[in-house]
Chain A
């Protein structure tokens, strides 16, 4: 009998020959990530367990990204407490203010390996599934348990296979694909399940695009979103990872809860409308929606490929006087690359505000807050009511191309028309 990627990874990590759907297993984790919005509570859980040391200071990663730099006395205190913890515990990998968003940094700095188990005290930890790892978001206390024991309990999820075929048209991206999938599956349609994404569209897709897909698996309730590693993965990882790793692929006769097939050949750019991620419409249905703020960034779409797409539309053009556009590269490396390529300079000339790498406007906790009655268009991942500021504001989700084209007109705009 065959097994899925998630089942095989959890079997190996729990020391079993095989595990079955629904079984609760205790599995070793290869990495625990906490950040400034969830880390202090994880440390508190560890201390409440009567523990003074993390299980392995080389396998704990701490990132200051959510409110970075600190913008209140309370967030400054949180940062300080985590910095003190880093020193006290000799945490090897600490990324302080300005380095970037956790889910960009961990792969970029070579921490994510195919076939591993990663827990992060952040729901978008599923991003690392783009490299064939079983990576899942947990709460602070669960992260605290993993900090102490180097393991945690997992219910072996069912796996939904998503097969995506077809060549994407110009200016149609991974973001449009995942919004389409969210529309089909719904915001709770994959709860407790793992998604395995495959097909010719995925094979052709860049690593950056695969990260966007896996990142949003949680928006359907999924426990993980996994792309099987291939030559593209191995070559991307080559310059970043020292040492060996053992990738895990699905068995040919693996058993899936269901298989969903998509043909994206004729897909047009998609937009998720307020206030749920599955409220998705084609861009052509929304051309009269007026926008006040555009945010380009986040662990979903703040990578170099995204900034290049934005640049390809905005170079030499000015954004509408009626919008403000905030661009936040997802990491310092991306920021430097975009500077070197002249992208940042051109985008500043177009009228963008560029800010340091961080989560920024994505979750409404620091910069780029929306006022009552305002409408935001964002390349990030959630459009819940009040997510980016006032509960009386509205948020639409889209690709970097749609965001850039809309910046010129001040209305939701089809990037194929500019």
Chain B
């Protein structure tokens, strides 16, 4: 399976207040949340982002609040996946749980810039920067998480189970 898209690159410690500020926690419709994606750090993000675009970031992406609004806002804004050097624990779980791809790649920020086009090969564990020809490998999600992702999230994964 391959995903490709245009990159938006951010730095380290992109917290969930940046991804969607606290004043929007009252929202329950993910499409409404999406209108405020990345608003805390990039107020123009939602106007410039296109479907299947990819967010690239440094260490500790999604730190701070446990709000699931954060991965939901990104997913429903059309983001294809996030690739970060590392993640905060709760964001990572939340992303997998809602069926949103969050990939860990310690080298990613070295080979891509905003507006590069990259291709992610999930089977090969390879990221190919089509804009500059640079390539880097990533750590595939553990098997349990891939099962959850393939099911479309933990809700679908557990839907048919009587006692889990």
The residues of A with any CB-CB pair to B shorter than 8 Å are: 24, 26, 37-38, 40-41, 44-45, 48-50, 66-67, 72, 74-75, 78, 121-123, 125, 137-142, 144-145, 148-149, 151, 153, 187-188, 191-192, 221, 223, 276, 363-365, 382, 384-387, 391
| A385 pairs with B40, CB closer than 8 A | yes
A132 to chain B, nearest CB (A): 21
Are B60 and A221 in contact, CB atoms less than 8 angstroms apart? yes
Q: Which residue of B lies closest to A48 (CB)?
A: B155
- Whether B65 lies near A363 (C-beta < 8 A) is yes
Query: Smallest distance from the beta carbon of B21 to chain A beta carbons, Å?
Result: 6
Give the residues in chain A near B164, CB-CB below 8 Å: 26, 145, 149, 151
Residues of chain B touching chain A, judged by Cβ–Cβ distance below 8 Å, are 13, 15, 17-18, 21-23, 25-28, 40-41, 43, 59-60, 63-69, 71-72, 86-90, 93-94, 97-98, 144, 153-155, 158-159, 163-164
Q: Which residues of B contact A365 (CB under 8 A)?
A: 22-23, 25-26
User: Which residue of A has the minimal Cβ distance to B24?
Assistant: A365
In contact, B93 and A191 (Cβ under 8 angstroms):
no
Give 13 new A-B contacts, CB below 8 A, not counting A37-B26, A37-B67, A365-B25: A26-B164, A41-B68, A44-B28, A49-B158, A78-B26, A139-B68, A141-B98, A142-B154, A149-B164, A188-B60, A221-B63, A364-B23, A386-B17
Q: Judge whether B66 and A123 touch: CB under 8 Å.
A: yes
The answer to whether A38 touches B18, judged by C-beta atoms less than 8 angstroms apart, is no
A149, B163: Cβ atoms closer than 8 Å: yes
7 CB-based A-B contacts, threshold 8 Å: A142-B93, A145-B97, A223-B89, A363-B22, A365-B25, A382-B65, A385-B40
- On whether the beta carbons of A139 and B13 are closer than 8 Å, the reply is no
Interface-central residue, A123, A138, A276, by most chain B CB under 10 Å: A123
CB-nearest residue of chain A to B71: A139
- Decide if B97 touches A142 in the complex (CB within 8 Å): yes
- In the complex, the answer to whether B68 meets A140 with C-beta atoms within 8 Å is yes
Task: List residues of chain B with CB within 8 A of the CB of A37.
Answer: 22, 25-26, 67
Which residues of chain A come closer than 8 Å to B40, judged between CB atoms?
Answer: 384-386, 391
